[in-house]
Structures are given as structure tokens and as C-alpha cells.
Amino acid sequence: MAPADGLGALPTALREAIAAALRQASGFVPLRAQRLGGSASGATLAIDAADGRRAFVKLAAGELADALSAEEDGLRALQAAGSVAVPRPLCGGRHGEHAFLALEWLELAAWRPASAAAFGAGLAALHRHAGARFGWPRDNWIGASPQPNAWGEDWMSFFRDRRLAFQLERARRRGYGCELEQSGIERLLSGVPALLAGHTPQPSLVHGDLWSGNAAALADERPAIFDPAVHYADREVDLAMSELFGGFPEELRAAYRSAWPLAPGYETRKHLYNLYHVLNHLNLFGRGYLAQAQQLVRRLNAELR
């Protein structure tokens, strides 16, 4: 496999390990590779085969090597659901401190009303895949953050303890505890049962990290999802995050609600669910997300009065 665009910075043995895994898994004979982004320890690559096929390859090192194994597990679960297009895992493996995951290449396109509506209906179908409990058979990752998924019978306790409290403890270790406590974060944690009172969702299979950068339309207008943080949860967590940073067409939400209407109280719950993601961004990217986290805490505490 000929390196290009800086791939020579990667160890030769690692390039050869990826090429050997691709050949063994799918008869994919790598011809050339191109770096798409990232660093030597966390790069993304496009690898072209002699027969015209292309693979998307992700690399990770250190503790994030486990994230690729978890991602492959999540992609296979989403693929088995058959509700929305998912890049098919081709092979994965480790070489030294590095891990790699090779995926089917998807040709992405701009959203159109038809593809956005298809995504809304497909997402509702995905959420119809129900589990017996909340959580997942293994812990996984949301971006570069660990995500604990130990099984829970009760959604309120699962979300409070495995999501909000977990991220809050990480924020405290990073020095944000006092400022979050001034916003009333402890009061909010004790108020989660009241905010979710009477809401008893089924455990639904969710993507778990559904912002606009992790979904797209394909050239044939099928919707696709990738980079998941899969688990069984209240289906509303996906809908809430799809609104957090914008980027999704309104046709998506309209089609979803037509296929499976949301329960009363969603407009409050979505802020609670999105606090998890804002705290995660605070922990990953720093103080620029502190004011947004504080604003959400105060807004939710106002609902408890």
C-alpha cells in the first residue's frame, strides 16, 4: 500500500497490518492511502483498492483504542436493526499501541426533504427495537469520553447516575465543580425524579450521539448514521440531541413525530437530556461550554419551583 499525503508518518508495520486485515476480511487489496484528518495517533484514512473499492479507516491509540472496538460493536447493532443505513465494518484490529477500524465507504450528500423525512421515519423504526433494561452489554465511548452502561431497570436512576452524575464528577476533577454548584447542580440532581415523574419510557435502541456530524444523506437519498454511542435508553435522548446543535432539517422531526408521537413533557426533558452532552463537551473542550451548562441547570431548576 503506497502512502500518500503524510501517511509515511505512520509506522510501516501498522500500514502493513491494516492492509493484511483488509485482504483477509474482504479480499480488499489496498493500492494507495490518503490521510483525511487527525494525527498519527488518531487519524482517519481513505484507502483505495485495486478493484475500485474504497474503505474508511479510523486509527486510535492508548485508552481510545478501546473506543474503536466499542464503535464496531455499536455499528453492528445498528446495522442489524436495519432501519437506517450504517457503514458496514470490514475489519478491525490492533498493532502495538494502535487500534484500527476499517469501514465501508459511504458517499455522502446534502440533505433533501425526502432524505430528511426518510431519516425521521427510519429513526423511529430504530427506536422500536426495544431492550429489557437500560444500558448496554459493555461500557463504550461518546466522542473521546468513556460512557458507563451498567444495566439498570429504572430510567430515572440510570440517567441520573450513569449520565449526569458521572459527567459532573469528571467536571469536578477538571476544576468546574464550584461554578456548577453555584448554578444549583446538586439541587438539580436531587430533582431528577421530579423532572421525570410519570415518564416511563421503554428501553429503546438509540444512536446515543446524534448530532448533525454523525448522520448524513447518501447519494441515493437514503439516510445514514455513524460514530455511535449505542445503548438502550429513552428514545427522546436522540431527538433531544438532534436539536442541541442544529443542522438537521425540520422534515426529520416532523416525520419522526408522525411515525411515533412524543409524550407530553418532552420540551422540558430535552433540556435535561442535553445537559449530559453539554457537560461532556465541557469536559472534552473546556470552559467555552460552562455558561451553557450553567444556563441549562438554572433553567431546569426553575421547573422544580
* Domain edges within the chain: 7-104, 108-303
56-65: pLDDT as tens digits = 999 998 888 8
Q: What pLDDT was estimated at residue 177? A: 95
Active site residues: 209
Q: How confident is the model at residue 9 (pLDDT cuts 50, 70, 90)?
A: low
Q: Are 55 and 47 in contact (CB under 8 A)?
A: yes
**Which of 12-26, 106-120, 179-193, 241-255 has the weakest average pLDDT?**
12-26
3-state SS class at 142 = strand
Cα torsion 169, 160, 139, 137 to 10°: value is 160
**C-alpha cell, 210:** 446524534
Arithmetic mean of pLDDT, 214-224: 95
Q: Is the pLDDT of residue 2 over 60?
A: no
Phi/psi-derived region of residue 109, left when phi > 0, alpha when psi is between -120 and 50, beta in every other case: beta
Task: Answer yes or no: is pLDDT of 55 > 80.
Answer: yes
Contact indicator for 52, 22 with CB cutoff of 8 Å: no
Instruction: Tell me the CATH number for domain 7-104.
Output: 3.30.200.20
The pLDDT tens digits of the residues spanning 241-269 come to 999 999 999 999 999 999 999 999 999 99
- Which residue in 303, 295, 4, 273 sits closest to 159, CA to CA? 273
Q: Which pLDDT value is given to residue 114?
A: 95
Region 202-229: mean pLDDT is 96
For residue 6, pLDDT over 50 is answered with no
Q: Residue 237 contacts by C-beta under 8 Å, 6 or more apart in sequence?
A: 206, 208, 273, 276
Does pLDDT of 3 surpass 80? no
Q: Backbone dihedral region of 135: left (phi > 0), alpha (psi from -120 to 50 degrees) or beta?
A: left
Check whether 39 has a pLDDT greater than 80. no
- The upper half-sphere exposure of residue 61, i.e. CA atoms within 13 Å in the direction of its Cβ, equals 14
pLDDT (tens digit per residue) in 83-96: 999 999 999 998 88
Q: Which residue has the cell 427506536?
A: 127
pLDDT tier at 222, thresholds 50, 70, 90: very high
pLDDT digits (tens, 9 = 90+) for 103-116: 999 999 999 999 99
What mean pLDDT do residues 37-52 have? 80
Domain spanning 108-303, CATH architecture: Alpha-Beta Complex (3.90)
pLDDT for residue 149: 98
Pairing of strands 89-95, 54-61: unpaired
What percentage of the chain has pLDDT greater than the value 90?
81
Instruction: For residue 68, give the C-alpha cell.
Output: 474503536
Q: Which helix (H) or strand (E) holds 32?
A: strand 30-37
Average pLDDT over residues 29-56: 84
pLDDT of residue 113: 95
Contacts 24+ apart (CB under 8 A), 183-186: 183/293, 183/294, 183/297, 183/298, 184/297, 184/298, 184/301, 185/297
Which stretch of 38-47, 121-130, 153-162, 263-272 has the lowest confidence by average pLDDT?
A: 38-47
Give yes or no for a contact between 63 and 71, defined as CB atoms under 8 angstroms apart. no
